[in-house]
Chains A and B, each alone.
Chain A
Amino acid sequence: DGGITQSPKYLFRKEGQNVTLSCEQNLNHDAMYWYRQDPGQGLRLIYYSQIVNDFQKGDIAEGYSVSREKKESFPLTVTSAQKNPTAFYLCASSHRGRDSEQYFGPGTRLTVT
């Protein structure tokens, strides 16, 4: 089955720790994205990547980092510099191009205490 997997579904961390969220796709998509979802705020773009070894900051990149070493994988690290890391994180991928649909993973709910 083609799709996007994110793991784990729930993640708990102590404040001050970095944590990495996994995102893998087998759809042969060039572009991948990370979004953050908070209640009442819709989805906000954190980082996106059009191609391997290249990525750009989205609207709320501060406190996050990414890598794109393989086409299939786009892990997101939430660093201790992120002031409010508790949120639902969604990964997506798409073909490149104006009308391309983005396919979403099931999400990871991160709780930092």
Chain B
Amino acid sequence: GNSVTQMEGPVTLSEEAFLTINCTYTATGYPSLFWYVQYPGEGLQLLLKATKADDKGSNKGFEATYRKETTSFHLEKGSVQVSDSAVYFCALSDYGGATNKLIFGTGTLLAVQP
């Protein structure tokens, strides 16, 4: 079945450091790919998405490129801030019959220190 694998955390960085969170997937067909962010005690918010190969999603300085050849969708940010501290989830759409079910990775905790 379809699945998502994320790098384990926690990831601890100093402010202004470069961030990469790895995400790889296994899927039949051509799923859409998503990154969601969860701040402490809250629900998830969509950070960015890509719907086809070579698409780049971007938002708030975060970027991820849909790489079909390596089945990857790694999240990057050039300079992290303390306010980026959160849990990041990679997900793919398990689409079938008009329903967009999402399959999530286990999440990666990012802690940014001043």
Seen from chain A, the residues whose Cβ lies within 8 Å of a Cβ on chain B are 4, 6, 31, 33, 40-45, 48, 50, 56, 58, 90, 92, 94, 96-107
Contacts and interface: CB of A to CB of B under 8 A. Distances in A.
Contact of A104 (B45, B49, B98, B106): B45
How big is chain B's contact interface, by range?
20 to 34
Interface in B15-58: 32, 34, 36, 41-46, 49, 51
Main SS at interface, chain B: strand
A103 B102 CA distance: 12
Contact of A43 (B32, B51, B89, B93): B89
A97 B101 CA distance: 10
B42 A96 contact: no
Contact of B32 (A44, A92, A99, A105): A99
Interface of B: 32, 34, 36, 41-46, 49, 51, 89, 93, 95, 97-102, 104-107
